Amino acid sequence: MKSLAFSLVALAALGLGLFFGLQQAGINPFASTPPATLSGISLEDVDGNMQNGDQWLGKVVLVNHWASWCPPCVKELPLLVDAQEQLGTRGLQVVGIAHDFPEAARTFGDQLGINYPSLVVEQGGAELMISQGSAQGSALPFTAVFNREGKLVEHRLGAIDGDDIAAMVEPLL
């Protein structure tokens, strides 16, 4: 019993030491992560050109995280192509972020006729997804919607359908 009490006191002291050490270093361990913005997206596209999310400010942006090896991702891609085609003139910009190798994403996108920017993330994808609201940062597909000011307004884990797309973007157009 004494060893359990000693262990709990030691654990509490360690936790407090960590907390005060982080604060002294200027890190607030209880601060919430700032909301994601389009400015936080800066990745190369499938052709190796750097793209920055700021270029889509003024549009409603639906960011879809996908991979060529992910069956639910592949299933929803034609819906995203349709959404870009049908709603693009009203201010929607679909942006794909492939968690894949650039060549695989380019080839796959060409085969499916992707008509929107396709960016590639080979490292740091989990952190990017978490910044956009994903609790896990590793499950695909994942979709984030940004308003015309570039602020994150909605996110969904898992495959989406046409009704989901309409519900997420129509009120913002």
Query: What would the pLDDT profile of 19-70 be if each residue is shown by its tens digit?
Result: 444 334 333 344 445 567 888 899 999 999 999 999 999 999 999 999 999 9
Same domain, 3 and 62: no
Same domain, 19 and 89: no
Same domain, 65 and 124: yes
Same domain, 83 and 157: yes
Same domain, 24 and 46: no
Same domain, 84 and 121: yes
Same domain, 59 and 137: yes
Other Cβ atoms less than 10 A from the Cβ of 152: the count is 20
Q: How many domains does the chain have?
A: 2
Same domain, 94 and 156: yes
Query: What would the pLDDT profile of 68-127 be if each residue is shown by its tens digit?
Result: 999 999 999 999 999 999 999 999 999 999 999 999 999 999 999 999 999 999 888 888
Closest CA to 60 of 77, 79, 84: 84
Domain extent for 138: 38-172
Record the pTM: 0.78
* DSSP string computed for 80-128: HHHHHHHHGGGTEEEEEEESS-HHHHHHHHHHHT--S-EEE-SSSHHHH
51 membership: H or E segment, kind and range: strand 50-52
